């Protein structure tokens, strides 16, 4: 089930195991049969830690989604709420508890498990409603960093960026620091910490303080990570705005990947069986899990989409040939051997079928005129063309009332690539947007301005060309099939964040001091002392392991770029990636938009 977690350089199964252990311990505290009432948001992340079978082993007999009203009947001794500490959820729980039939025998016991933290505020809220006393166990489950893949961890904290930059609420950074402490407890103290950005500085400070405050925290585990690199998302606002062009990136851009699952339109996946006549086409979306446990997916996920077709066709030939073997199987022994291979071949075939269908779906979109036009404009901006005037394509899109998020992505991209827009240009865009989509969006525009994504050019100087040239963010000769540089993930644009990681290893940040100063927030280096016995003596040729933590979110294309660097023969560094949330431009902008529909209560 979790084999893919141990495939990387760092065995992340241990982290998952720790999470499972904690869960079991909690469940055992509530003796007897139980039902879990889930905050629906949590089922995805929890699914990456545990399957239903684990819960069942610990007497979880029923599971429900949290909703107002009377709790469903279930003959269990315990009702456990698994919730995020949110006030609106506390209201629902209160409603559930108050409607519980007090006369029923035997009575059911209530418990709450807060994820990731107990909240004094929520408990106070419950108390005011007069139900706090109904809960026997109120505990927390610190699901800080969830293992997504062999080299990928996420906190799945949707609003981390918004909270940090719009609401000055740095709780998510506190959780990030705690997550890193847990990680160090399992994989040893990380001797070197680098960082860029205000949030990075905060997290490093918190880590150092936490370590100081818990003198017992000196552990005796041999360090697996050599370096931690903390990067603020606001150091590189550009990358998430551009359309990702890797296979996985495009799947996320178009369909959205949630907790490694993607939902796809079912038409292309209809089981084609003779005699069916295509009568009952499935109407529910097809849901697939995407991770490196699937051999084919691991091979193509990080490729530029233009290079995916050839891999799929090669695979098809290999599989066809393998099935042809059956004609050559003459003896009983040969047939037996063929049959024994069948399950593996069938798996490979179904995997190929799925990805061929997905590639077709994506191709329909990438070959559309609008996709091309949009990309053309993006690439113009990123290479520094016409970033200082009103763009015709954007104007056209507004006039045709394309989705607002698309417009905002482009306008923000232009702003970032021009170190802010000229006041006249900015005012023009704002007016067009407000007149076409509604004045209330002034709130969203304000949020974007506050986050630095959309702003007037204040200094009167455009720093982007200098940054672009120094960091080689735009590469003219990009090879999509056999890439030699990370810029292949955006067909020309090399993600700034990953360039920073790359340059840190070689030749070091000292060489780019000037540019680092142009980017927001401080850059720094810290060392954590190790006892002499634990200091690493590196074998010749052994790769270093760097943990890159993106505070405020990371895109799949950036992950692909880091994996590309890990695989470079002379790279010398392997990367493990952690983040507060896996994002793309759309989900990111959405998280910054003001929710305009009135609250449901």
Partner 1 sequence: MSRARADEEEYWHSSKFRAFTFDDEDDELSQLKESKRAVNSLRDIVDDDDDDLERVSWSGEPVGSISWSIKETASSSASSLEGRDSSLQKGSSSYAAFPKQVSSYSLSSLFKGRNKLPSFQSLSDALSDTGAKNYAPELRRPKADYKDYSSDWSPKDTVRRMQRGKVCSLERFRSLQDKLVLLDEAVAGHDGNVITAVLIFLKRTLRREILFRELEVRQVALCHLIHFLKETGEQKLLLDLLRLCFFSLSLQLSQYREHLNIQDVEKRREFLKGCIGLPFSAEDTSHIQDHYTLLERQIIIEANDRHLESAGQSEIFRKYPRKASILNMPLVTTLFYSCFYHYTEAEGTFSSPTNLKKTFKIPDKQYVLTALAARAKLRAWDDVDALFTTKNWLGYTKKKAPIGFHRVVEILQRNNAPVQVLQEYVRLVEDVETRLNLATKYKCHDVVIETYRDLKDRIQLTAYKCKVERGSAEEEKINSILSNMVRN
Q: Which of residues 77-136 bind partner 1 (CB under 8 A)?
A: 85, 87, 101-104, 117-121, 123-125, 127, 130, 132-134, 136
Decide if residue 455 touches partner 1 (CB under 8 A). no
Report if residue 138 touches partner 1, rule: CB under 8 A.
yes
Report the alpha-carbon distance of residue 425 to residue 410 in Å, rounded. 13
d(CA 140, CA 171): 16
Rounded Cα gap, residues 550 and 582, in angstroms: 10
Touching partner 1, residues 297-316 (CB under 8 A): 306, 309-310, 312-313, 315-316
Contact between residue 125 and residue 110 where contact means Cβ atoms under 8 Å apart:
no
Q: What is the Cα–Cα distance from 528 to 477, expressed in whole angstroms?
A: 41
Contact with partner 1 (CB under 8 A): which of 317, 330, 510, 537? 317
Residues 256-295 that bind partner 1 (CB under 8 A): 261, 263, 272-273, 282, 284-289
The alpha carbon dihedral of 212, 214, 217, 218 has a sign of: positive
CB pairs under 8 A, 24+ apart, for 474-479?
474/382, 474/383, 474/384
- Token pair, residue 396, equals 């056209």
CA atoms within 13 A on the CB side of 324: 6
Write the interaction track for partner 1 spanning residues 492-511; mark x where CB under 8 A is met and - where it is not: x-------------------
Question: Using N-to-C axis directions, what is the helix angle for 404-416 and 392-399, rounded to 10°?
Answer: 160
Length of the chain: 601
| Residue 456 C-beta: closest distance to partner 1, Å | 10
Contacts of partner 1 in 548-567 (CB under 8 A): none
> How many Å apart are CA 259 and CA 250, to the nearest integer?
16
Tell me the closest approach of the beta carbon of residue 306 to partner 1, in angstroms: 6
Our finding on whether 450 is near partner 1 (CB under 8 A) is: yes
165 φ, ψ to 5°? Answer: -100, -25
Q: Which is nearer to partner 1, 38 or 509 (CB)?
A: 38
Task: Enumerate residues 153-172 that contact partner 1 by CB under 8 A.
Answer: 163, 167-171
User: Taking CB under 8 A as the rule, does residue 18 contact partner 1?
Assistant: yes
Residue 539 Cβ, how far from partner 1 at the closest point, in Å? 27
Under 8 Å CB-to-CB from 216, ≥6 apart: which residues? none
* Min separation Cβ 424 and partner 1, Å: 12
CB nearer partner 1, residue 356 or residue 543: 356
Output 28 or 440, the one with its CB closest to partner 1. Answer: 440
Which residues ranging from 383 to 442 are in contact with partner 1 (CB under 8 A)?
A: 383, 385, 392-393, 395-396, 399, 401, 427, 430, 432, 434-440, 442
Q: Which of 31, 32, 281, 346 forms a contact with partner 1 (CB under 8 A)?
A: 346
255 contacts partner 1 (rule: CB under 8 A) = no
Q: How near is the Cβ of 71 to partner 1 at its closest, in Å?
A: 10
274: CB partners within 8 A, 6+ apart: none
Q: Tokens at residue 296, please?
A: 């084919």
Verify binding: residue 323, partner 1, rule CB under 8 A: yes
Report the site for partner 1 in 563-592 (rule: CB under 8 A). none
DSSP symbols for 501-512: HHHHHTT-GGGG
CB of 15 vs partner 1, minimal distance in Å: 11
């Amino acid at each position: 089930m979790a084999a893919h977690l141990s495939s990387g350089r760092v065995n992340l199964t241990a982290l998952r195991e720790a999470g499972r252990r904690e869960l079991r311990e909690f469940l055992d505290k509530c003796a007897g049969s139980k039902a879990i009432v889930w905050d629906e948001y949590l089922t995805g992340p929890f699914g990456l830690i545990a399957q239903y079978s684990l819960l069942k082993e610990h007497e979880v007999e029923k599971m429900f989604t949290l909703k107002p009203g009377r709790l469903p009947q279930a003959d269990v001794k315990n009702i456990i709420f698994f919730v995020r500490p949110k006030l609106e959820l506390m209201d629902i729980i209160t409603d559930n508890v108050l409607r519980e039939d007090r006369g029923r025998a035997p009575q059911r016991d209530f418990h709450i498990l807060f994820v990731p933290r107990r909240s004094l505020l929520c408990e106070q809220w419950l108390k005011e409603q007069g139900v706090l006393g109904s809960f026997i166990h109120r505990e927390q489950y610190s699901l800080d960093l969830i293992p997504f893949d062999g080299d990928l961890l996420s906190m799945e904290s949707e609003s981390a960026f918004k909270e940090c930059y719009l609401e000055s609420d740095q709780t998510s950074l506190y959780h990030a620091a705690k997550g890193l402490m847990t990680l160090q407890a399992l994989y040893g103290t990380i001797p070197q910490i680098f960082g860029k950005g205000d949030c990075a500085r905060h997290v490093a400070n918190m880590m150092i303080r936490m370590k100081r405050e818990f003198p017992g925290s000196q552990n005796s585990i041999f360090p697996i990570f050599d370096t931690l690199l903390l990067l603020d998302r606001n150091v590189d606002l550009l990358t998430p705005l551009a359309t990702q062009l890797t296979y996985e990136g495009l799947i996320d851009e178009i369909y959205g990947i949630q907790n490694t699952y993607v939902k796809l339109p079912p038409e292309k996946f209809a089981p084609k069986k003779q005699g069916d006549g295509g009568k009952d086409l499935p109407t529910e979306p097809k849901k697939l899990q995407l991770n490196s446990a699937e051999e084919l997916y691991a091979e193509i996920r990080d490729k530029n989409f233009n290079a995916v077709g050839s891999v799929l066709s090669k695979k098809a030939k290999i599989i066809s040939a393998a099935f042809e073997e059956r004609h050559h199987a003459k003896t009983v022994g040969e047939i037996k051997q063929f049959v024994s291979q069948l399950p593996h071949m069938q798996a490979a075939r179904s995997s190929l079928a799925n990805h061929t269908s997905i590639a077709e779906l994506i191709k329909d979109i990438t070959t559309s005129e609008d996709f091309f036009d949009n990309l053309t404009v993006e690439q113009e901006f990123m290479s520094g063309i016409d970033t200082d005037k009103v763009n015709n394509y954007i104007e056209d899109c507004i006039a045709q009332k394309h989705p607002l998020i698309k417009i905002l992505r482009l306008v923000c991209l232009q702003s970032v690539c021009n170190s802010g827009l000229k006041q006249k240009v900015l005012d023009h865009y704002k007016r067009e947007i407000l007149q076409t989509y509604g004045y209330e969006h002034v709130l969203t525009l304000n949020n974007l301005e506050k986050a630095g994504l959309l702003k007037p050019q204040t200094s009167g100087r455009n720093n982007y060309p200098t940054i672009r040239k120094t960091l080689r963010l735009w590469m003219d000769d990009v090879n999509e099939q056999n890439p030699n540089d990370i810029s292949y993930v955006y067909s020309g644009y090399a993600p700034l964040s990953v360039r920073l990681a790359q340059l840190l290893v070689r030749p070091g940040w000292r060489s780019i001091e000037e540019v680092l100063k142009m980017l927001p927030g401080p850059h720094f280096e810290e060392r954590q002392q190790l006892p002499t016995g634990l200091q690493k003596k590196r074998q010749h040729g052994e790769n270093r392991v760097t943990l890159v933590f993106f505070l405020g979110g990371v895109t799949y294309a950036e992950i692909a770029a880091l994996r590309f660097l890990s695989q470079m023969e002379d790279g010398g560094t392997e990367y493990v990636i952690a983040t507060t949330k896996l994002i793309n431009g759309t989900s990111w902008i959405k998280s910054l938009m003001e929710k305009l529909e009135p609250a449901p209560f």
